[in-house]
Chains A and B, each alone.
Chain A
């Protein structure tokens, strides 16, 4: 019998920003204001701006479901998780939670740099809601997952950022609540680690726990979540099967532009440190007859403009091509070419020369990625622009092209 794990009913959260102008951060200023108030002319209209971080959101999550929450940065996804984690209060509406909640809103919450890895496992575990006996029981598992056995008794301030994240996630991964709320913790760490985390979340899901997963990583969302909601500007825009919702999200979040024009990416939905970022993108194929659009099995060039705040060495710059459902199809990553890419301070321009694009005609979405050798992501844009790949050859029978990828093949008669 399926029970409702989480019932969200017209939940809203408002922040008043106009008032922030009058709000004083210090007692001294507040007192001065109160004393001088009778002597000041009251301002005619006080700007009372209200910001609806979340507006009238309603949905249900069934027990055992892995539920995705997607949307742009600032859409209200984190606010939703904070409300469900009881960290902040709703302005109106309500939610009913059936089961114990474990929240993973940040990795390493409560870690103290002076304490050793061992001590922090206990501290962090307790902060996340585990009992001491539970932590004791799982201690070895946690340490094994984090792969930091030799460094267990060193203060955490000496850990590399990778070790830190691994340990933090290892503790959180061993929480056993009935409901798990996860907020983009997978955005940190290197690729190997992210794979491990996804695997762990998969295991958790298989055990029948309810999971709410906020992420920008459409692949992860597709892989783990059966149902997803799309939140934009505080409102629930769509709820339904992951495939459909993701496709809706992608299609509303890229720039639609033709070839041979520089497309600025300032408004793009992105994650990353931003020390170097993609400023603009440009693409074209050499075929003038079809308006320089890319075509199946043909060559295409993508140029990217990167702004860097200083000279640096980047281990991976990649162009990724997804279908409209967010499935990753093509990944042209500089890391596979073996050499690091050198960026200078300010503007840098690179061109990806793809010799043959093995994609069938259709609508695709291009994403961008840039990461340092340590694995830390500098900039990642999941859906930057939409690209139409067209059909150069005319098919005689008006055949539909199925499948995303092409291949070279021949048909021969088989001699017995």
Chain B
């Protein structure tokens, strides 16, 4: 009768949550397989019907790079140190595009998965996290193109490339922080996802993607420092191209500040998300 039910009981208490909260890291680990499947689903669906799919992923940063090279590199003569402008911009475009697409995706992630939020239990953080992870595939393809470019321009990597995974991780955590904020806000205010593309566009110009930090006069550099993506982008560039950049490009105060802002956004985002999570199913 009841012999095949294990005697160790898994107990859960359901009650209104008080102010304090937990990050549910244990629960997130428990649901890691669901996270895997959601990422798998996004990737499968993304690449299923379009033959163009993979081509577009590679084309996008390459086209941007070509356009920026023509416009900023050649026409406007933005300095890029000892490195050809195409590579200079591409090394920054790669993490930037990853960030932009992850933000776009994660801001609508909860609303797009309304049926899951209203019918199944799992730690809701799994959803924005899966958006951040599925963007890595596109990043991977873009990275292969980067390797090609580095070979073409004879720009071999140096020891600093060992730091690249750290900066990639920073990119992911930054995207995740904003992802938490935006996805949770989007449940309540549905027009947030219209704001996001505009924000991203302007944001790119406030980040040293197509220009080096040194281009910005000293008194305005604090703007870059407040931008969490500065650390990511400059970090990427430094890790890949350090010997060819001006010494001023090495990680310094600005990067440190930007990194701290990133972490702040991540922590506050997680807190905000967890506190509003209890109302998701009711208002989505």
Q: Which residues of A contact B (CB under 8 A)?
A: 3, 15, 24-28, 30, 63-64, 82-101, 103, 105-106, 109-110, 112, 114-115, 119, 122-123, 126-129, 131-132, 178, 207-209
Given A119-B44, A123-B41, A208-B2: A109 touches B116 (CB 8 Å cut-off) = yes
Contact of A127 among B4, B37, B282 (CB under 8 A): B37
Q: Judge if B1 is at the interface, Cβ distance under 8 Å.
A: yes
User: A residues within 8 A CB of B14?
Assistant: 83-84, 86, 89-90, 94-97
Contact of B115 among A82, A88, A109 (CB under 8 A): A109
Instruction: Mark contacts of B165-191 with chain A using CB atoms, 8 A cut-off: 1 yes-contact digit, 0 otherwise.
Output: 000000000000000000001000111
User: A residues within 8 A CB of B44?
Assistant: 114-115, 119
Q: Which residues of B contact A (CB under 8 A)?
A: 1-6, 9-17, 33-34, 36-37, 40-41, 44-45, 48-49, 115-122, 185, 189-192, 195, 278, 281-282
Complex Cα spacing A64 to B11, Å:
16
Complex Cα spacing A99 to B122, Å:
16
Contact present for B4 and A86 (CB under 8 Å): no
Contact of B13 among A30, A96, A115, A129 (CB under 8 A): A96
Given A115-B44, A208-B1: A91 touches B191 (CB 8 Å cut-off) = no
Contact present for B49 and A100 (CB under 8 Å): no
Which residue in chain A gives the minimum CB-CB distance to B185?
A27
Contact present for B189 and A25 (CB under 8 Å): yes
User: B residues within 8 A CB of A119?
Assistant: 44
Complex Cα spacing A91 to B18, Å:
11
Which residue in chain B gives the minimum CB-CB distance to A155?
B48
Contact present for B9 and A85 (CB under 8 Å): no
Contact present for B15 and A90 (CB under 8 Å): yes
Complex Cα spacing A123 to B116, Å:
12
Nearest CB in chain B: distance from A375 CB, A: 23
Complex Cα spacing A87 to B12, Å:
13
A24, A83, A109, A110 — which one has the most chain B CB atoms within 10 A of its CB?
A110
Contact of A30 among B9, B16, B189 (CB under 8 A): B189
Contact present for A91 and B16 (CB under 8 Å): yes
User: A residues within 8 A CB of B17?
Assistant: 89
Contact present for B119 and A109 (CB under 8 Å): yes
Complex Cα spacing A410 to B44, Å:
73
Nearest CB in chain A: distance from B233 CB, A: 28
Contact present for B15 and A93 (CB under 8 Å): yes
Contact present for B282 and A27 (CB under 8 Å): no
Given A91-B16, A97-B14: A27 touches B195 (CB 8 Å cut-off) = yes
Contact present for B9 and A99 (CB under 8 Å): yes
Complex Cα spacing A184 to B23, Å:
34
A123-B41, A208-B2 given; 8 more Cβ-contact pairs under 8 Å: A84-B14, A85-B121, A91-B16, A94-B14, A106-B115, A114-B49, A208-B3, A209-B5
Contact of A115 among B3, B45, B191, B192 (CB under 8 A): B45
Cross-chain pairs A/B with CB under 8 angstroms, 9 sampled: A82-B281, A93-B15, A97-B13, A98-B9, A101-B12, A114-B45, A127-B120, A132-B33, A207-B4
Which residue in chain A gives the minimum CB-CB distance to B10?
A100
User: A residues within 8 A CB of B120?
Assistant: 85, 87, 103, 105, 109-110, 127-128
Given A88-B281, A91-B16: A105 touches B37 (CB 8 Å cut-off) = no
Complex Cα spacing A185 to B4, Å:
26
Contact present for B116 and A178 (CB under 8 Å): no
Complex Cα spacing A119 to B47, Å:
14
Complex Cα spacing A90 to B282, Å:
11
Nearest CB in chain A: distance from B273 CB, A: 15
User: B residues within 8 A CB of A96?
Assistant: 11-14
Which residue in chain B gives the minimum CB-CB distance to A97?
B12
Contact present for A131 and B33 (CB under 8 Å): yes
Which residue in chain B gives the minimum CB-CB distance to A11?
B14
Contact of A27 among B37, B121, B189 (CB under 8 A): B189
Contact present for A26 and B189 (CB under 8 Å): yes
User: A residues within 8 A CB of B40?
Assistant: 123
Given A30-B189, A87-B119, A110-B116: A122 touches B37 (CB 8 Å cut-off) = yes
Q: Which 3 A-B pairs have the closest CB atoms?
A: A94-B15, A126-B37, A208-B2
Complex Cα spacing A127 to B192, Å:
27
Contact of A208 among B4, B36, B37 (CB under 8 A): B4
Nearest CB in chain A: distance from B217 CB, A: 33
User: A residues within 8 A CB of B37?
Assistant: 122-123, 126-127
Which residue in chain B gives the minimum CB-CB distance to A113?
B45
Complex Cα spacing A208 to B12, Å:
20
User: A residues within 8 A CB of B119?
Assistant: 87, 103, 105-106, 109
Complex Cα spacing A30 to B119, Å:
29
Contact present for A86 and B121 (CB under 8 Å): yes
Contact of B34 among A25, A86, A126, A209 (CB under 8 A): A126
Which residue in chain A gives the minimum CB-CB distance to B118?
A87
Which residue in chain B gives the minimum CB-CB distance to A28?
B191
Given A114-B45, A115-B45: A87 touches B33 (CB 8 Å cut-off) = no
Nearest CB in chain B: distance from A105 CB, A: 5
Complex Cα spacing A92 to B119, Å:
21
Complex Cα spacing A409 to B15, Å:
62
Nearest CB in chain A: distance from B207 CB, A: 24
Nearest CB in chain B: distance from A189 CB, A: 18
User: A residues within 8 A CB of B34?
Assistant: 126-127, 129
Which residue in chain A gives the minimum CB-CB distance to B37?
A126
Complex Cα spacing A3 to B34, Å:
31
Contact present for B41 and A87 (CB under 8 Å): no
Complex Cα spacing A101 to B116, Å:
16
Complex Cα spacing A358 to B87, Å:
90
Complex Cα spacing A175 to B256, Å:
49
User: B residues within 8 A CB of A122?
Assistant: 37
Contact present for B195 and A64 (CB under 8 Å): no
Given A25-B189, A27-B191, A87-B120: A115 touches B15 (CB 8 Å cut-off) = no
